[in-house]
Structure 1
Amino acid sequence: MTDATSRSPHSPVAWAARLVGLTIGGASAVVEALVLVVCAPLLAASYRGTNRRRSLDAVAHRIVGWEIRRVERCFGQPVPRAPGSRVWRYIAARTPIGLVGALLVLITGFGAVTAGRALSAWSIGAAVDGVEPSPFNVGYLGVLCLVLAFTAYFGLIGAATLEHRTALLFLGPRPDQALRDRIVELSTSRAAVVDAVDTERRRIERDLHDGVQQRLVALGMLIGRARRDGDRDDLLADAHREALAALADLRDVSWRIYPAALDRSVLGVALDTLAERATIPVTLAIRVDERPPRPVETVAYFVVSEAVANATKHSGAERVDVTVERVGPELRVVVTDDGRGGADADGVGLTGLRRRVAAVDGELELWSPPGAGTRIEATMRCG
């Protein structure tokens, strides 16, 4: 079955998947009705925690697992499972809904076959079941086809939507629990962002102290010696080199703080500049038709920047491949290298990246088996 994220809800593929889902749902509703008839007396006489009740619940969970896969694949709607979901109530509630959905499919199919049979016969002047192709009969059939199409369109969409909402109602998290989980998630991400900002400030201070500041001190000493000594050419040349190195270090620090290219242009241009500044070959594949929001774009840049820096300094990689693409409402960033692997997922750099990505409701995953390179994938919502 085609993945729900890759098709439009009104495309022919989506309609075909919807019809298949409702048809299968009708068949499974018949089976579930029989299961309810058999298991209802046993459920009433069983106590929670007993072996018989656990066996019955296991049957219900297997049925529910099948139904969730059907809804997600055929209707293109995710169904998150919550602990303590009411599986038996869900089965009892969706059984009549599944039967109604299958009935709508049968009515739609019967009407389409009947209309097609009549039109094909009347087109050659033949009668259908004694009905002649008169103007009144043709007009009556046309109106009936319009009514049938209207009923089929909204009826099938409504049945599929009702299936999904029923699953969410009985299997998904309850609204109050979802709200509490969201509050906890936001509180955690806010604390992580504050920690990440402090960590980044310490990192910038260390870079300035160990890099730019030391070079400026050396530059001042060289200029002082040049003022005292008679032979100044070599000292001035050294001072010039130190000034250029200090300027390069300062530019690197400023780019780590915020890439100014994002203010002047799009993410692809900023990544082109990053690839040019890298000391190893970096291959870019940018497939972003619509520019993402500025916070998401900035985080995507830092994901690539940190991954390239890690590959250059720590992994011994000879090349890095970067893919940035818009997949539906999400921006996906994938960075792979051919280094030695074994990256520390709890290291300072990757921990900071994970917090940055979480701050924009995204997720970051790391694959780095020893000797097989490293792959970093970040997925961020653009809504």
Structure 2
Amino acid sequence: MENHSGSLRRMIATAGRLFVGVIIGAGTAVAEIAFLGWAALVTLVRPRPATTIEPLARHLVEVERRRIARYLPGGPAAPHLDDYTSRRALAYLGVRWIVGLLGGVVALLFLYGLATGVVWARDLLVGRSGALLVIAQVVGGLVLFFLAVQGFLGVAALDRRLAQRMLVPGDRVRYERRISELAASRAGVVAAVDAERRRIERDLHDGVQQRLVALGLLLGQARRRPDRSAELVRQAHGEAREILDALRDVAWRAYPADLDTLGLAEALSRVAERSGVSITCAVDRLPQAVETAAYFVVSEAVTNATKHAPGSRVTVNVVTTDQEVRVTVTDDGPGGADPSGGGLSGLARRAAALDGRLTVDSPPGGPTTILAVLPCG
């Protein structure tokens, strides 16, 4: 019984969304007619740059896209803002208003039928209608109700199909776009690898190499000064320990061994220990490429936060679903992070290479939030 009532509620909710979607579509059709008339007028009478008309057209199409996605479920995926050009948006609006007005006519007929049904019910209750007339009215009302429902379904299907046909790119366009994305991500990966090699070379040259020179000088002095050999050997021993720590640090930043042996959670716990930030990570083992990308997103973001916002509180959260991993790094520093900077742009390229995305939200005054979404399905 509960299952039947739940199904009935879902059907009523779906029908209600469909009705609201068609009604809103009728209202947007009026706005589209006004826009098309204004666009034709300013083009014929006083031409102005297309940059004034086309953004408005894309804005109206975006309103339609959201309406279809929210109120007209069950059809093809609604087009995204980046899927269509401004020319296709204008062509779509030039046809779509007809569908919207058709939906408005169907809605008016439906409301008229409801009003007529109320009048019939009143006449039946006060005894103004005979039995045959009541039967004829009931049968006619049911037929009109069925036609109205079919009209709503037809308008909704036509609305969805029109958007799919005129706004969603074809297979060839999608393939070309995908090829361009892959070429860009491959070039980005190559650039990121080169940048990482330069960073490692810089760390070795400025850190380890200089300490090795100092170690050689200390050992040379110990050979030439036997009277101070014990002291110089102790200094050389301390320098050697610092060189080993620097080498471990360079190797860890290049690629942490714990990531392969113990997994992402353990590797991030080491980042938390080294940087003193709060990291929440409870994930199972993931594909190696995904774990590597997630680790470097956290490591680079934490490094940026401690460098550019010292003393700020940094929190890291890693959650996973069946399809994706979401890595969020937030600090309460002054904000103003530049997504085009070397570190963040490298992370964006690393995420794009896995068909993921990285977004940076860092308004002046903070906080700064870096979100990486990496597919793992």
TM-score by length of 2: 0.67
Pick closer, same or farther for the CA change 1:168–1:254 going to 2, 3 Å.
Answer: farther
Give the CA deviation at 1:70: 2.4
Aligned with 1:297 (options 261, 286, 291): 291
Bigger helix fraction: 2
Structure 1 residues 1-383: aligned runs within 5 Å: 18-27=14-23, 49-50=43-44, 64-74=61-71, 75=73, 77-81=77-81, 82-83=84-85, 84-85=87-88, 86-88=91-93, 91=96, 164=160, 166-228=162-224, 229-278=226-275, 281-286=276-281, 288=283, 291-326=285-320, 329-383=323-377
Pick closer, same or farther for the CA change 1:58–1:268 going to 2, 3 Å.
Answer: closer
Pick closer, same or farther for the CA change 1:311–1:224 going to 2, 3 Å.
Answer: same
Pick closer, same or farther for the CA change 1:170–1:242 going to 2, 3 Å.
Answer: same
Pick closer, same or farther for the CA change 1:34–1:320 going to 2, 3 Å.
Answer: closer
Distance (whole Å) between structure 1 residues aligned to residue 373 and residue 258 of structure 2: 22
Distance (whole Å) between structure 1 residues aligned to residue 212 and residue 354 of structure 2: 38
Distance (whole Å) between structure 2 residues aligned to residue 63 and residue 318 of structure 1: 42
Equivalent residues of 2:30, 2:97 under 8 A apart: no
Distance (whole Å) between structure 2 residues aligned to residue 231 and residue 56 of structure 1: 84
Pick closer, same or farther for the CA change 1:343–1:66 going to 2, 3 Å.
Answer: closer
Give the CA deviation at 1:264: 1.2
Equivalent residues of 2:29, 2:98 under 8 A apart: no
Equivalent residues of 2:26, 2:101 under 8 A apart: no
Of stretches 336-345 and 313-322 in structure 1, the one that deviates more from structure 2 is 336-345
Aligned pairs, how many?
319
Which amino acid counterpart does residue 20 of structure 2 have in structure 1?
I
Structure 2 runs not aligned, ≥5 long: 1-5, 108-152
Pick closer, same or farther for the CA change 1:287–1:232 going to 2, 3 Å.
Answer: same
Pick closer, same or farther for the CA change 1:375–1:97 going to 2, 3 Å.
Answer: same
Partner of 2:133: none
Give the CA deviation at 1:277: 1.5
Which amino acid counterpart does residue 91 of structure 1 have in structure 2?
R
Distance (whole Å) between structure 2 residues aligned to residue 283 and residue 170 of structure 1: 49
Equivalent residues of 2:322, 2:376 under 8 A apart: no
Distance (whole Å) between structure 2 residues aligned to residue 361 and residue 263 of structure 1: 22
Pick closer, same or farther for the CA change 1:78–1:266 going to 2, 3 Å.
Answer: farther
Which amino acid counterpart does residue 345 of structure 1 have in structure 2?
P
Equivalent residues of 1:32, 1:91 under 8 A apart: no
Identity of aligned residues (%): 46
Pick closer, same or farther for the CA change 1:47–1:301 going to 2, 3 Å.
Answer: same
SS in 2 for 1:324: strand
Give the CA deviation at 1:247: 1.2
Pick closer, same or farther for the CA change 1:346–1:69 going to 2, 3 Å.
Answer: closer
Give the CA deviation at 1:335: 1.2
Which amino acid counterpart does residue 204 of structure 1 have in structure 2?
I
Equivalent residues of 2:360, 2:368 under 8 A apart: yes
Give the CA deviation at 1:61: 6.8
Give the CA deviation at 1:33: 8.9
Distance (whole Å) between structure 1 residues aligned to residue 192 and residue 26 of structure 2: 55
Distance (whole Å) between structure 2 residues aligned to residue 26 and residue 200 of structure 1: 54
SS in 1 for 2:187: helix
Pick closer, same or farther for the CA change 1:11–1:339 going to 2, 3 Å.
Answer: farther
Which amino acid counterpart does residue 96 of structure 2 have in structure 1?
I
Pick closer, same or farther for the CA change 1:97–1:203 going to 2, 3 Å.
Answer: farther
Provide, for residues 155-175 of structure 1, a one-character-per-residue CA deviation record: whole Å limited to 9, x for no partner.
x9x998886554232222233
Of stretches 175-184 and 205-214 in structure 1, the one that deviates more from structure 2 is 175-184
Distance (whole Å) between structure 2 residues aligned to residue 292 and residue 11 of structure 1: 38
Distance (whole Å) between structure 1 residues aligned to residue 30 and residue 205 of structure 2: 75
Distance (whole Å) between structure 1 residues aligned to residue 240 and residue 9 of structure 2: 63
SS in 1 for 2:228: coil
Distance (whole Å) between structure 1 residues aligned to residue 55 and residue 334 of structure 2: 45
Partner of 1:145: none
Structure 1 runs not aligned, ≥5 long: 1-9, 103-155
Equivalent residues of 1:302, 1:353 under 8 A apart: yes
Give the CA deviation at 1:275: 0.7
Distance (whole Å) between structure 2 residues aligned to residue 11 and residue 329 of structure 1: 28
Of stretches 50-59 and 350-359 in structure 1, the one that deviates more from structure 2 is 50-59
Distance (whole Å) between structure 2 residues aligned to residue 329 and residue 308 of structure 1: 25
Distance (whole Å) between structure 2 residues aligned to residue 287 and residue 15 of structure 1: 39
Give the CA deviation at 1:80: 1.0
SS in 1 for 2:337: coil
